[in-house]
Structure 1
């Protein structure tokens, strides 16, 4: 596996040719970008979601070009504050073309998951997202190993089959 920079990650998201799948398995994250907005939400303050505009613009361009973007969030219920917030801000991404789905953790007990969250780009490479215990991102690793790609695609598709589309998922 090869470490990659945030810039390289941004390039992978911008350059994929056909599809990406993304599996999230943590109940809370602490990304530097999101923390201030999560804090506002927890305080009951309004967020215009301006900070999501670039991501959504890229999603719209990819959707217009016929590309597929799917995400599954494996969540414990009742939802953590982070996941309740995440649910509250997901609709603009869905509207922009990312198919976001939710699956309660209890439903995925028999699925073999990789040890880390990941993206698979075009079925040709997997990018693992490494987090510290407090949810802060610490590293991104890329693998083109066929076994890694198969494991991640299999885990994603198994979770996808059990997942609920964002518009239908009611936070518990």
Structure 2
């Protein structure tokens, strides 16, 4: 499970800059966008692992979230399930304050970002503390249940 809470990440990312300048990925030209991450997800989902990504976003969405939305077909092609949840619909949910990955309901990886969306110098924090892992699992499931599948989400 992967929860994304920010409206922008790494605004100096060359791929994001190229997108801002009009470059779009071609779904039919898989070799131009498929990479190691896609291989890893595809291999995991091929073994029966369910990989879910949930993006909580402010609306109207930021340019960066629009970029993510446009590129999400690559996540789906690799086997991820992706949902979107407008931030406005989360006011009654208890959510961790930062993005995280949850692995096998046993380990959480928190990502700590700077104010401008860069991964902080010591931005990766792993934990197997049962209370923190459970908080992530419960929060993710609550948000996932009300989120909209990518195929149905229409950003505004």
Give the TM-score normalised by the residue count of structure 1.
Answer: 0.83
Check the 8 A contact 2:11/2:17 in 1, yes or no: no
In the alignment, structure 1 residue 170 sits paired with structure 2 residue 154: yes
2:8 pairs with one of 11, 28, 36: 28
**DSSP-derived class of the 2:102 partner:** strand
Q: CA RMSD in A?
A: 1.5
Equivalence map 1:2-151=2 (5 Å): 21-30=1-10, 35-47=13-25, 50=32, 52-138=34-120, 139-151=123-135
1:46, distance to aligned residue in structure 2 (A): 3.7
| Matched residues, number | 150
1:55, distance to aligned residue in structure 2 (A): 1.2
CA distance in 2, matches of 1:52, 1:103: 26
Give the TM-score normalised by the residue count of structure 2.
Answer: 0.91
CA distance in 2, matches of 1:92, 1:46: 12
**DSSP-derived class of the 1:68 partner:** coil
User: Which stretch has the larger CA shift, 47-56 or 97-106?
Assistant: 47-56
Gap regions ≥5 residues in structure 1: 1-20
After superposition, give the CA deviation of every residue in 1:39-98 in whole Å (9 maximum; x if it has no partner): 011111244574542111111111111111001000000100000000000112112110
**DSSP-derived class of the 2:54 partner:** strand
After superposition, give the CA deviation of every residue in 1:122-146 in whole Å (9 maximum; x if it has no partner): 0111100000000000110001111
Gap regions ≥5 residues in structure 2: none
